[in-house]
Each structure stands twice: as structure tokens, then as C-alpha cells.
Amino acid sequence: MQPLNNYLNKIKSEIHPDMIKYRVEEVGYIIEIKDGVVIMGGMNNVGYGELVEFENGVKAMVIDIDVDKVGAIVLGDYLTLKSGDLARLTGMQASVPVANDLLGRVINPIGEPLDGLDNPEDVKHYPLEKIAPGVVFRQPVKIPLQTGIKAIDALIPIGRGQRELIIGDRGTGKTTIAIDTIINQKGQNVICIYCAIGQKESKIASIVDLLKRHGALDYTIIVTAAASDPVSLQYLAPYAASAVGEFFMDQGKDVLLVHDDLTKHAWAYRQLSLVLRRPAGREAYPGDIFYLHSRLLERACCLSKKAGGGTMTALPIIETLEGDVSAYIPTNIISITDGQIFLETDLFNAGIRPAINIGISVSRVGGNAQVKAMKQVASKLKLDLAQYREMAAFSQFESDLDEETKKFLNRGSKITQILKQNKHQLFNLSKEVAIIWASIKGYLDDVSLTKISLFEEKFIDTISLEKKALLTKIEKEKEISPEAEKELEAFTKNFLKDFNNSL
């Protein structure tokens, strides 16, 4: 008994009224619960974006402060809350836990794993909302981000740190382009983040499976707020994905961020705003819908060497209705991004896949984001295609054409065929350059249209077997030197002879 008594006496002597530490906490109480939103009273010293915790552990983020009321979006199950519940201010900004272990994982916008595995260890917390780096921290976009898709890499090049919009109707292959780009980053030291907003769970599952099969999941993180998740989570998903991206960008790494898609994100925000009774504007979107997306996409950037040299490339996706790009959200995002890839149903149905409308797709970074080898072939390709488009429209009215026009038309139709590409069949830089080189030099002019895909397949197979050194040379030097061009020419001539004989 003696030791215990000693112990108790010691405790007694240590406890003293002056010892009691206390903390003044701010609390409020729930007045109303709406779809994913709670309206609270009290909280005299609440801050915008502050995290609030309810008694049962559910958290909410303050996004609306009125004279006597506070509106917050619930991060979790809002059905467990009831009116009158106490809410405690945490004094923290809403954040997402990030870690290097996150690679290959599927998480929701508040960082909870959805793949049944354990929480990642050694986490840091990155704020969901962050002001994008200013001018002094940035440098121009220069390094290319190879998508592995010929039409994009040659004509609408994407640079690391660029924001390139993918826009088109449903079922035109928008997600496919984004996923192919992720798959093509294998071995390129790029961390990919796929942010699914309001997608079907089945689609997300098939994407995870696809990435796994192509060995792309090892460097990919999937942030998802599915169609059945509360709109609050759908609204936060792209910000959470950006926060995860910033974590890797701050380590000086290159990040590719796909937002699939921002139309549904705008819908989610519209719903929240209407529930919060904010004044509705055009198409019932609230007044800050432009800022919603501009502050998000502005976070994608190319940091200068001084700031660590990391980059974050964003590929937002927008779904249009009936090809209407003059709707509110598409025009907003077109004006924010550094270019867009237009996908069209007509082209898709005509068998031109990827269904990119090259005429109206642009990349405002342009040739800066191309290596020399690609520049060497792309300029001629662009010219040929532009002439082809002009002539094609013109030739529909005239029956007999002069030789020169026929030549352009023939060349253009072959190039159009060459730019077709099956999904998930990606080309590395040297192969892209080789096949485009062959087409612009006119080696395909005498191959019939129906044989082009066969020609391409065999050409790539043969060149990667016989001229491996040449391909690695182009890959390494990133340009077509005169010697390489001679070698390519000799090979193509030989191959063409064999090809014609084998038919």
C-alpha cells in the first residue's frame, strides 16, 4: 500500500487549481441541414474555409458566412447529423493528407483510401485551397509532355506545366486521350493524378483495371468523388487532386493532372450554391463560377529552377452537348486554358480516331513544347494538312483537277490516315517522328488508302527490329541529323519495295 499512497500523494501535490490548462473554444450549433450543406448559428469568430468538427467526428468546411448564420459543406456522411448538434471550430484550413506512399492508390477528396488498404504513413497535410504561385516563381513551358498520340504530339503539342483542355460530346474519346497520356508516361518520371468527378463507379473501376494492366498504376493516384458521393465531395475533388499534385511538384517532380470532368464539377458547385441560396446567374450558375475554375487551373504551372523546378500539367475535360462550345462552362474554360483539343462526333463516326478536329484545336504553347526532331517533321505536316483542308473543300465543286491539286489531295488523305491511331496503342517519340517523316516525304503517296494502316504497322515493326540504333539515336539526340535522315531514307525506300512486293 505504501508505494501506492506515495504515488497518490505525489499526484495530489502536483494537482493545483493554477495547473489547470484550459482552452477557449468557439462553438456553434446546427440550425438547418440541407443536401450536403449545414447552416449553423453561433461561431462569432469563424473564418472562411475553416474546418468545423461535429460531436460525432464528422467534419465540415465553412464556405458561407452570413450576419447571423454560417454555411458549411459536410465532408462525410451528413445524414448522421441532426439539428441542434454542437459544432466546434478547429482553427484549421481544410486539407488533404499526402504522402509518397499515395502512388497507386485510390482516395477520396478528404484523403481516405477507397481501395481497402491501410492509410499511408508519414503524411503531410496540404491545404485544399491555395493561391497559385505568382509570376516570380514561374518560367515558360519548354519541356514536352509526350502523349504518345501522333496527332497531338505533332500538331497540338502539350508542354509540362501547360493546361490543355480536352473538349467534346459524350462518347468521343475524351477520357481515352487522357488515359492514353497517363499510360504513355511510363518511365518518363511523371507522377499522374486522375481526378474523377461525378463519374460512375463502374467507369472508375475499369480505369483502375486498365491502368493496372498497362503497368501505369505504379505512378498514378486516383482521386475520386463518384456520382453517388455527396456534391460537397465532388466540389472538392479537383482541389484535393491539385493539393496532392502540389505535394509532388514541391519536390521538384513533374505531375500530370487529369480533371474528368469539370462540367460535372460546375454542376456540383451550382447545386451547392443554389442550396445556399446564392443568387443565380446565367444557366443558374452562381457569379463566381469563373473564379471556381480559374483558381483551380491556375495552380497548374511550371516552376522556375529557384522555386524547385517542378511542373504540374493539367488536362481538364469538358463534355459539351451537341457540340455546343458556346455554352457557359465551355467558353469559360476555353478562355482559361492554354489551348484545347476538340473532339467531334462526326469524325469519330467517320472512323477518324482519335476524333480530333485539327483545324480548330490549338496549343498556345505551340512549338516551344516540341523537341527539334518533332519540329522538323511537324511544320511540313501542318502545311500539308492546311493545304489539304483548303483544297478538299474547294475540290468538291470541280470535277477535273490539275495534277498539283490532285497531289495535295492525295498527300492529305494519306496523312489523315497516318494520324489515325487505335486506343492504348501508343508511339514513342522516335516512332512518331519516323512514320510522320515517311508520310510528309511522300513515300506513302503510292500506297493505296486501304493499305495505309497495314503499311504503318509493318513499318513500325520492321524499323524497330532492324533500325533500333537509329530510333534510339533520334530519341537521344532529339533531332533528325543529316546522317540519320539518310539512313531513314534508305530504310524507307527498301521497305517500300518489300512492302509492294509482298502485296
Partner 1 sequence: MIYSAYKLDQVEIESIIAKFPFIKIENIDNVVDKTVLAGVVIYHGSQVIDISLRGRVNSLKKKLYATVK
Per CB under 8 A, residues contacting partner 1 are 20, 22-28, 42-45, 88, 119
Minimum Å gap between C-beta 17 and partner 1 is 8
Please identify, using beta-carbon distances, which residue of 34 and 88 lies nearer to partner 1. Answer: 88
- Which is nearest to 414 in space by CA: 450, 380, 468? 450
Minimum Å gap between C-beta 90 and partner 1 is 12
- Asked if 193 and 244 count as a contact pair (C-beta separation under 8 A), the reply is yes
Please identify, using beta-carbon distances, which residue of 29 and 328 lies nearer to partner 1. Answer: 29
Cα 404 to Cα 292: distance, rounded to the nearest angstrom: 52
Please identify, using beta-carbon distances, which residue of 43 and 463 lies nearer to partner 1. Answer: 43
Q: Quote the DSSP letter at residue 79.
A: G
Catalytic residues: 364
Please identify, using beta-carbon distances, which residue of 22 and 397 lies nearer to partner 1. Answer: 22
End-to-end CA distance of the chain: 102
- Asked if 304 and 138 count as a contact pair (C-beta separation under 8 A), the reply is yes
Distance of CA 398 to the CA centre of its chain: 45
- Burial code (b: 16+ CB inside 10 Å, e: under 16) for 87-123 equals bebeeebbbbbbbeebbbbbbbbbbeebeeeeebeeb
Minimum Å gap between C-beta 223 and partner 1 is 21
Cα 73 to Cα 51: distance, rounded to the nearest angstrom: 10
Cα 218 to Cα 212: distance, rounded to the nearest angstrom: 8
Please identify, using beta-carbon distances, which residue of 23 and 305 lies nearer to partner 1. Answer: 23
Left (φ > 0), alpha (ψ -120 to 50) or beta: where does 181 sit? alpha
30, 146, 221, 327 from 115: Cα distances, Å? 33, 29, 11, 37
Minimum Å gap between C-beta 218 and partner 1 is 26
Paired with 194 in beta bridges are 222, 258
Minimum Å gap between C-beta 45 and partner 1 is 7
Cβ neighbors of 401 (< 8 A, separation 6 or more) are 395, 409
Minimum Å gap between C-beta 129 and partner 1 is 24
Please identify, using beta-carbon distances, which residue of 54 and 437 lies nearer to partner 1. Answer: 54
Cα 291 to Cα 10: distance, rounded to the nearest angstrom: 60
Please identify, using beta-carbon distances, which residue of 86 and 386 lies nearer to partner 1. Answer: 86
Minimum Å gap between C-beta 26 and partner 1 is 6
